């Protein structure tokens, strides 16, 4: 099982330069407790745009992929589902 989730690391906001916090999306192999990949979201963006890029980097054939509602909103995630799945 692969879990897709996004996180904003604590302390990644830089007040001095006004730089927005870093937001990362990662793919986690649950049973193996292994990070398979991660990608930073674009500035002024969110998980929806980063998830397709992350999924494209991984070979997920035969894997169960889970994600929260934010990650599932992207078209690529819906594209990866077998016919008949919602």
Q: Provide the 3-class DSSP secondary structure of residue 4.
A: strand
pTM (two decimals): 0.69
Q: What is the pLDDT along the chain (86 residues), one digit of tens a residue?
A: 999 998 887 777 777 777 777 888 999 999 999 999 999 988 777 788 888 889 889 988 888 888 876 655 555 555 555 544 44
Alpha helices in 1-86 (DSSP H): 47-57, 69-72, 75-79
């Amino acid at each position: 099982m692969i879990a897709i989730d996004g996180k904003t690391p604590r302390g990644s906001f830089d007040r001095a330069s006004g730089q927005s916090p870093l937001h990362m999306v990662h793919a986690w192999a649950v049973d193996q407790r292994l990070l398979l990949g991660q990608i930073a979201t674009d500035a002024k963006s969110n998980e929806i745009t980063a998830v397709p890029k992350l999924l494209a980097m991984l070979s997920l054939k035969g894997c169960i992929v889970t994600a929260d509602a934010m990650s599932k909103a992207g078209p690529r995630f819906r594209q990866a589902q077998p016919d008949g799945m919602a």
